[in-house]
C-alpha cells in the first residue's frame, strides 16, 4: 500500500519544485536588478561631482482634496537644496481645505504658484487635465519638468540627486518607485505583495531598455527633459488615460527615447491610501489599467498570485511534517519522504528569501514577511474584483469623477 500513500508526497514534491523554480527566478531578477541599477540615493554622491550643473526645473503638482498631505509636500519642496526650481500647484476641483493649507505652507515663497481649476472637460481624466493646465503656467524655459503626486514628500537633496542621475544616464524620463509608508496593517501585510505584482508585470530592467516592450513609469515622480516631453505630445496626448504614467512611458518607448525607472530608496516617500477600502479601490484601478482592461489577463494574474504566493507555500510547509510522518510511520518509502521534505524546505527557503528581500527594499519590518501568504491572497482578491467590475461594466470612480471602462 506504500504506493497509495506515495501519490500525495509525489504531488507535493512536484508542486514545491515548481514553486522553488518560480521564486528562484524572482530572486535572480532582484539580484540582477540591484546590481545593474542605482537607486535615487546613489545620486547624492553623484550630484557632488556636478555642483556647478544646475538646469532649471519646473515642478508640477496636481491635487484633488489633498488637505492632509499638501503642506508636507510643500515643506519638503521648500527645503530642497536646489536653487533653479519653480513650483506650480494645480488644485483640481477641491472642496476641502487644500487651498488654505497650501497657501499657509507656501508662506509667500515666490517660487510657488497656485492655480485653481473648477471644471474638467468630459473627454479628459481629471488628473491629466489638471497637469496639462499647470504645464501652461510652467516656465517655458525650464529644461526639466518634474511631476509629483500630492501625497509624496521629498528628501532635501532629491531634486539635485535625481537630476544628476538623469544627466549621467542621459535619460529623457526618470521615474522613481517611491518608498511607501508602512504605518497601517494593510501597508505592512498587503502593500508589498501589491507592489511586487506590479513589478512582476513591468520588470525594471526591461522598463529601462530603450524602446521597451514593457514600458513603465510611476506618476508619483516623473522627471522629463522638457524637449522630450514636448516631442511625445505631453499630457494632452494621453488625456483620457486613468493611468497616464504608463501611457506616457509607452509614448517615450515608441519614440525610442530613454527612460530610467529606479528605486527611490527613501528619497521620495508616498502614503498612497489611508484606509483599507481606499487601498482596495485604488489598486483595482491600477491593476485594471495596467492590464489594459483585459478581463482574462486580470483573472490569470489572480490565479497565479493565489497559487504562487499562498497555496504552494502553505502546501510546501504542510508537506514537511507530512513527509516525516509518512516516512517514519512506514506508509511511504523513506527516500521519497526525505527527498520530498528536502525539496519543500529548499523551496520555502527560496520563497522566504525573496519575500524578505522585498520587505527590506520596501522598508517594511521583515517580521511581517511570513504574512505574505495572506497579503498575496488579498491581492489576488483585488485582481479578481477588478476583473469582475470590468466584466459587469461597473464604472470607476476616482478623484471626484466617474469613468466608464470597457472590458476587452
pLDDT, tens digit, 9 for 90 and up, residues 150-193: 999 999 999 999 999 999 999 999 999 999 999 999 999 999 99
The percentage of residues in the chain with a pLDDT greater than 70, rounded to a whole number, is 98
Mean pLDDT over each residue of the chain, to the nearest integer = 93
Q: Which of 84, 91, 147, 93 is nearest to 111 (CA)?
A: 84
pLDDT score for 329? 65
Alpha helices in 174-223 (DSSP H): 185-189, 191-201, 204-207
Give residue 330's pLDDT: 67
Which residues is 57 bridged to in the sheet? 85, 144
Q: What is the pLDDT of residue 286?
A: 95
β-strands 221-225, 152-154 pairing: unpaired
What pLDDT was estimated at residue 331? Answer: 66
Closest of 168, 141, 136 to residue 55, by C-alpha: 141
What confidence tier does 340 reach under pLDDT thresholds 50, 70, 90?
Answer: confident
Number of residues assigned to the chain: 408
pLDDT at 371 over 70: yes
Does residue 195 have a pLDDT over 90? yes
7: how many CB neighbours lie within 10 A of its CB?
10
What's the pLDDT at 2? 57
Domain segments of the chain as ranges = 2-30+295-398, 39-272
Q: What is the mean pLDDT of residues 304-324?
A: 93
Query: What CA–CA distances, in Å, run from 388 to 194, 201, 282, 291, 403?
Result: 18, 20, 15, 13, 16
Residue 1's pLDDT band, with cuts at 50, 70 and 90, is: low
Superfamily of domain 39-272: Spore Coat Polysaccharide Biosynthesis Protein SpsA; Chain A (3.90.550.10)
Residue whose C-alpha is closest to residue 59's, from 20, 28, 90, 105: 90
Q: How far apart are CA 29 and CA 203, in angstroms?
A: 8
pTM: 0.94
Q: Could you give the angle at the alpha carbon of 107 between the alpha carbons of 104 and 110, nearest 5°? A: 135
Identify the pLDDT of residue 8.
Answer: 82
pLDDT in tens, 13-42: 999 999 999 999 999 999 999 999 999 999
pLDDT the model gives residue 41: 97
Mean pLDDT in residue range 186-214: 95
Check pLDDT > 90 for residue 399.
no
- Check residue 338 and give its pLDDT: 86
- pLDDT class for 279, splitting at 50, 70, 90? very high
What is the model's pLDDT at position 67?
Answer: 96
Q: Please give the backbone phi and psi of residue 217, each rounded to the nearest 5 degrees, phi first.
A: -150, 155
What's residue 85's pLDDT? 95
Alpha helices in 124-190 (DSSP H): 126-137, 158-168, 185-189
Report the distance separating Cα 323 and Cα 3, nearest Å.
14
Amino acid at each position: 500500500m506504500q504506493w497509495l500513500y506515495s501519490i500525495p508526497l509525489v504531488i507535493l514534491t512536484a508542486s514545491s519544485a515548481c514553486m522553488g523554480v518560480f521564486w528562484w527566478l524572482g530572486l535572480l531578477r532582484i539580484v540582477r536588478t540591484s546590481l545593474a541599477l542605482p537607486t535615487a540615493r546613489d545620486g547624492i554622491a553623484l550630484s557632488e561631482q556636478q555642483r556647478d550643473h544646475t538646469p532649471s526645473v519646473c515642478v508640477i503638482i496636481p491635487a484633488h482634496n489633498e488637505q492632509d498631505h499638501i503642506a508636507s509636500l510643500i515643506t519638503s519642496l521648500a527645503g530642497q537644496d536646489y536653487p533653479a526650481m519653480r513650483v506650480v500647484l494645480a488644485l483640481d476641483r477641491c472642496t476641502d481645505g487644500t487651498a488654505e493649507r497650501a497657501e499657509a505652507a507656501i508662506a509667500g515663497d515666490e517660487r510657488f504658484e497656485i492655480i485653481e481649476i473648477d471644471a474638467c472637460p468630459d473627454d479628459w481624466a481629471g488628473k491629466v487635465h489638471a497637469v496639462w493646465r499647470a504645464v501652461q503656467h510652467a516656465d517655458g524655459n525650464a529644461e526639466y519638468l518634474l511631476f509629483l503626486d500630492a501625497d509624496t514628500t521629498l528628501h532635501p537633496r532629491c531634486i539635485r540627486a535625481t537630476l544628476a542621475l538623469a544627466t549621467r544616464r542621459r535619460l529623457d524620463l526618470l521615474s522613481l518607485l517611491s518608498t511607501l509608508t508602512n504605518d497601517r496593517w494593510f501597508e505592512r501585510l498587503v502593500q508589498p505583495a501589491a507592489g511586487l505584482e506590479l513589478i512582476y508585470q513591468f520588470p525594471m530592467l526591461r522598463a529601462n531598455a530603450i524602446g521597451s516592450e514593457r514600458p513603465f513609469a510611476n506618476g508619483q515622480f516623473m522627471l522629463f527633459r522638457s524637449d522630450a516631453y514636448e516631442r511625445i505630445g505631453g499630457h494632452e496626448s494621453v488625456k483620457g488615460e486613468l493611468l497616464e504614467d504608463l501611457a506616457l512611458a509607452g509614448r517615450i518607448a515608441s519614440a525610442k527615447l530613454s527612460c530610467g525607472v529606479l528605486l527611490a530608496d527613501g528619497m521620495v516617500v508616498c502614503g498612497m491610501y489611508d484606509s483599507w477600502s481606499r487601498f482596495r479601490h485604488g489598486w483595482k484601478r491600477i491593476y485594471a489599467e495596467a492590464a489594459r482592461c483585459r478581463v482574462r489577463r486580470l483573472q490569470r494574474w489572480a490565479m497565479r498570485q493565489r497559487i504562487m504566493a499562498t497555496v504552494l507555500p502553505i502546501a510546501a510547509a504542510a508537506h514537511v511534517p507530512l513527509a516525516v510522518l509518512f516516512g517514519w510511520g512506514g506508509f511511504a518509502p523513506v527516500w521519497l519522504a526525505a527527498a520530498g521534505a528536502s525539496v519543500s524546505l529548499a523551496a520555502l527557503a527560496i520563497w522566504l528569501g525573496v519575500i524578505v528581500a522585498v520587505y527590506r527594499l520596501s522598508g517594511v519590518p521583515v517580521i511581517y514577511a511570513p504574512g505574505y501568504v495572506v497579503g498575496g491572497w488579498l491581492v489576488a482578491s483585488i485582481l479578481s474584483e477588478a476583473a469582475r467590475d470590468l466584466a459587469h461594466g461597473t464604472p470607476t470612480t476616482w478623484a471626484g469623477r466617474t469613468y466608464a471602462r470597457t472590458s476587452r
